Structure 1
């Protein structure tokens, strides 16, 4: 169930937002980092103007997102400015965050190179809370063919970059690129190097979306179990792509293996097939808290509006059958389904539309619709002097079936015309 603020609430919540578990033990919090403005913008055809990035960041903060990956500051002047404005204009905001008690963490991505780290600090230093995110590939295929460095050089860069970034902030993250195709033992060495140098967050990534959940679980669990760290200081994060359609499933596997921070995008936008979708992960945690023993900080009622905002401002479209927030999620065409919904919406809807900020009127009139849905729609129209006696309804329904035969949907305007002409 959800609390009145739309937060994840397995059984109930105390006044301070702490989840109550009805004897099932304390729940851990799963934190969400949004990378829509960086990784999401790498999707073909997506382009956010500077003002749009700030507007999206503001809404993400209000939604309760824990971190915002603002951009890659050294990649362009506009990316640098976007980070600066988000740090200054969004970083201090507290609207919608009373249950968290602190403003959003503004982060930015950088290579473990001194000049890049310096520029990244300059871009985000005005945020009350900020973190520097270092990234480097750890798979042999990337080390050999892209970076053209040895494993030892990779570890040296991680160590130096982490220690250098700590001059600016105690919050330094190491993101391992292509973790899923890395040698697990070397991956542990890379994370151990960063943690020993002072990093407080480390991320595993399925950069090319190649993993199945069991495989991703094993590699995350192996790293958590074979890397010395203080669980009170160091967080494990996961970042996945959707090339095999398993981005969300892999994130959930990562959570089961010990990850507590998720790096994803709204509506799953991102390069190639996209990233795992924040709203899908969050709603799975919301609806299955007993399994994951977890809660989150997000206002789920903002999901539909914000996902559509991100997609529209990026200049693309959303698939109508997109889970959680697609326009078809709470719309029904089958007559049997519509009849059940009119009796009780839970017959064919697992989620309450209000949980994700969607509208609840989803009866689509088509050739598949039955008499109950047809009558319900006519009654909703409140046409003056409308006769809905059994005989009259039979006549109108027969004409409706003929009209609907060659249409994908019969609209309210079509119905009014049908009644007028019958």
Structure 2
């Protein structure tokens, strides 16, 4: 802390690991030393999500009494994990006890069971402003589109019943609930979806939609792209629109996350062909290209996707072992995109890949190649020479 102050840093936070379970006198002594050394934010982590709300709130209130600078020249901060499902409750208890800062993550992602969710704490304070009377300064209209982009980037799917962002939050099935909502939405909806950047209506784009219309659509979700990113997005949009009759908002989120996460040139899928059926041994032929080099692989597998993966391995001269494979639908309808997230072990190097397509086999092949390109980007070694089992 002293060194940071000597280097001219004005904002210095001291955060003692596992503070909620630390012996009280020792923790207060450590915090006192940190303040005297120049720390102007004291963060009290519930590192393993062990604390109970009343207990944690009481701890924060006692700290404000033990260290007079808190609430004046020093900020009191909270950092809660969700191992027992109490991260939100503990964070709110800390706010009630006088905390100035709450450390959170979007969608609640984080170590083990995650951290207190940004959207939950912000909307709890906004919806019940009559109770809390505090301001966060967060532009809540950015919450939902940012959450969707994060889901597409990480591949961590939000449960349908997830507070704030879940698909079921603004859905009503019970007859009496539906009747009440039709009469007055506030009967069963405590939040306005527009306040989190989530429109009740999903406007559909198609192959005849121009770049200007696409840009306006993105602006509805507060998504701003650079000109080169917009050009790349529109190209991908037209490709999808040619395959689908309608392009939904969920499709656009997937395309945007792909543009923002584009990898440098590496291996690219040129073409693939599969043969499968209940009386046919599944096989595939794949063409991949890197620079001017075109490679071809043909293999059989347990199914068409397994055959495609093995064909890619043969064509490139590597061997990957699939450790995770997840498929989810993007959008709705029979022509919805399929998004594949996978993890591959390339000779002990684990890399993730993700891709989307209206063809799930193509999405799988693209995701696999995406993982390979990431492996090469990581500098984990060049693709090895062909394995003996793949040699003619």
TM-score (normalizing by structure 1) = 0.46
- Greater RCO, 1 or 2 (C-alpha within 8 Å, sep 6+): 1
Q: How high is the TM-score relative to the length of structure 2? A: 0.50
